[in-house]
Amino acid sequence: MNTPRTLVWFSAGAASAIAAKLTIAQNPPNLVIAYTDPGSEHPDNERFLTDCEKWFGHPIIRLKSKKYADTWAVFEHGYLVSPYGAMCTAELKKKVRRDFQLPDDIHVFGYTSEEQHRADRFREQNIEVDLRTPLIEYGLTKDDCLAMIQRAGIELPAMYKLGYRNNNCIGCVKGGMGYWNKIRKDFPDTFDRMAQVERKLNISILRSESQSVFLDELDPTRGNHADEPSFECSLLCTIAEEDIELSTNTDY
């Protein structure tokens, strides 16, 4: 009988990196760490993946859609965002994951303690998936994970250092007005390109009081996006780090 894979889904974010490290500390058989590359993330993410591979002592498998090169290719087919979610996530993340996974895989996701509701919803919508959430089990927040990455001596991905709370694609259609005004400042070419896509498709990604707001109409003062990430490490960080240390200490 084959041993099921323990499949850690790495997203190039701090939370999934800590989830991977905690899983490695448990020394599960048949461990696989996989990253679904949407093609539109900051180029510094490849550096972060390489740094994490060294820290993990374990390779990260790169997976990519065979149909779409990046988010812009999805958008060009008329797909932006709807009340049911973003098509780029479905095509470049979810479909790629489903094509790679096996029926008996154990799945590890980097849901943080603030995201218990997301983990619960995932379980409800994917009852066939054996989901593990080590960050929730340790009570670790997103800020805890950011601090733990820094304490491990790993440089945070560029998007975090620019003040973004998530290391998503540059120009995420799920972002709000404050996010897009920050993109306007940090990545003006991306802002202009998305504004042109909106007009070409006659679809806006932002709404205000149930009214569509196109990017080329967005007031530069609208929204509120922090310019700097604020985070500190809690006592729970120390507990998790001690468990990681114990697992790699040959004296134990």
- Listed range (21-25, 77-81, 191-195, 235-239) with the worst mean pLDDT: 235-239
pLDDT tens sequence across 48-103: 999 999 999 999 999 999 999 999 999 988 878 776 678 898 999 999 999 999 99
Look at residue 230 and tell me whether its pLDDT is greater than 60: no
How sure is the predictor about 233, in pLDDT bands with cuts at 50, 70 and 90? low
Is 60 in contact with 19 (CB distance < 8 Å)? no
- pLDDT interval class at 140 (50, 70, 90): very high
The chain-wide mean pLDDT, for the chain, equals 89
CA–CA separation, 210 vs 14, rounded Å?
34
Torsion angle in degrees (nearest 10) through CA of 117, 118, 124, 126: -160
pLDDT at 76: 87
**Mean per-residue pLDDT, 214-237:** 71
| Nearest CA among 110, 98, 73, 109 for reference residue 88 | 73
Q: Is the pLDDT of residue 229 over 60?
A: no
How far, in Å, CA of 109 to CA of 126, rounded?
Answer: 13
Provide the 3-class DSSP secondary structure of residue 244: helix
Residue written as token pair 């591979």: 53
Q: Are 10 and 52 in contact (CB under 8 A)?
A: yes
What is the pLDDT at residue 79?
79
7 — pLDDT class (breaks 50, 70, 90)? very high
What pLDDT is stored for residue 228 in this prediction? 45
Residue of higher predicted confidence among 122 and 189: 189
Q: Is 98 helix (H, G, I), strand (E, B) or coil?
A: helix
pLDDT at residue 116 in the model: 94
3-state SS string for 2-50: CCCCEEEEECCCHHHHHHHHHHHHCCCCCEEEEEECCCCCCCHHHHHHH
Position 1 scores a pLDDT of 66
% pLDDT > 70, the chain: 88
Residue 235 has pLDDT above 70, yes or no: no
Helix-helix angle 177-186:188-201, to 10 degrees: 130
Confidence at residue 87, expressed as pLDDT on a 0 to 100 scale: 87
pLDDT bucket at 239, cuts 50 / 70 / 90: low
The mean pLDDT value for 9-21 works out to 95
- pTM value is 0.86
Using the predicted structure, report yes or no on whether residue 232 has a pLDDT greater than 80.
no
Instruction: Please indicate whether residue 231 or residue 46 has the higher confidence score (pLDDT).
Output: 46
The pLDDT of residue 210 is above 90 = no
Q: Is the pLDDT of residue 139 over 50?
A: yes
208: three-class secondary structure by DSSP: strand
DSSP 104-145: TPEEE----GGGHHHHHHHHHH-TTSEEE-HHHHHT--HHHH
